[in-house]
Copies of this chain bind each other. A is one copy, B any other.
């Protein structure tokens, strides 16, 4: 419960508020000798970055990452990798009006209850800006997993949704859609919905699916650190996430054992993949498939009644820079957290490599 540290062997510790000097982190236990592809890291940061299109927050952050340690002549040294991303476009003035109001379904109220006061500028530590650090770290550790392909995509926005996992996806295919839904007809409907919502000043929820190919059988720990428990925790730690399911997920509740069991072929693969690539908390070599549900963005461009710290009713005139739907930008965050989980378990599994 080192609250700002993720992972056990390969750990990411993060810091930073929305409107401080910089956000950043420290990656520890990255093995020595890995040649870093810096462009690949920046690419993922850019996919999360605000201001990419009309559908995402117009906040203009260049999000240029600086590595401060742990890399020498382009390679990891085995020592901790410190990095920062400056907060270039912070406009504190935007937020002065909400200083004394609890925005509905934000963390203003709970931070005050927990800590006694809060950095109210842009949501402070509770801002999704923090996830830029995760994306940077995930894009780096992903390079430890050369044969693993992690691809997330938007499977639902509002009530527009796909029926099943799209196992054929690649990142480049996903990025052909402005909102990262690889099914063209759905992508089009989603765009229309967002256009409509933008006019109304409203927001909407969504779902991201993630497919991981190339994970060998044997990753995961059997009891409390089951691989899907670690993935679930990682996803639920992303801002606005309300649900997680692996493989058959909630659908499994209405299925019979005789239809749900995945029958083996003689090569150890299974005909169906209701397990989502994990049995007993350990990967079985099949594609790992999971879904992550996001709530609608709480900041909407409509006046809302709320209260302040004194318990007085106030009206919140929403201003600021926010997305009507968070899921297009959350795709690289889901991928990053997946990479962090897998790399950690990948190192842990080396314990079993020989006695």
Contacts and interface: CB of A to CB of B under 8 A. Distances in A.
Given A207-B253, A223-B3, A295-B274, A261 B300 contact: yes
A12 to B, nearest CB: 8
A350 B264 CA distance: 33
B3 A352 contact: no
Given A29-B2, A232-B232, A233-B232, A107 B69 contact: no
Contacts of A66: 21
Interface string A190-220: 0000000100001111110000000001111
A47 to B, nearest CB: 21
Given A80-B13, A298-B257, A266 B232 contact: no
Contact of A5 (B28, B84, B104): B28
Given A31-B352, A257-B298, 15 more contacts: A1-B344, A15-B69, A21-B67, A68-B84, A107-B280, A109-B268, A113-B218, A113-B282, A115-B352, A229-B233, A232-B232, A242-B252, A244-B245, A261-B296, A267-B311
Interface residues of A, number: 157
A274 B349 CA distance: 37
A64 B23 CA distance: 19
13 contacts: A2-B29, A13-B13, A78-B352, A109-B217, A110-B218, A114-B220, A130-B223, A205-B254, A205-B255, A205-B260, A243-B252, A248-B295, A252-B293
Contacts of A125: 69, 77, 79, 222-223
B126 A280 contact: yes
A304 to B, nearest CB: 7
Number of copies: 4
Nearest to A101: B264
Contacts of A5: 2, 5, 11, 13, 28, 224
A347 B8 CA distance: 14
A40 interface: no
Contacts of A351: 9, 29, 31, 347, 350
A353 B352 CA distance: 12
A20 interface: yes
A220 to B, nearest CB: 8
A270 B5 CA distance: 31
Contact of A218 (B114, B118, B246): B114
B236 A243 contact: no
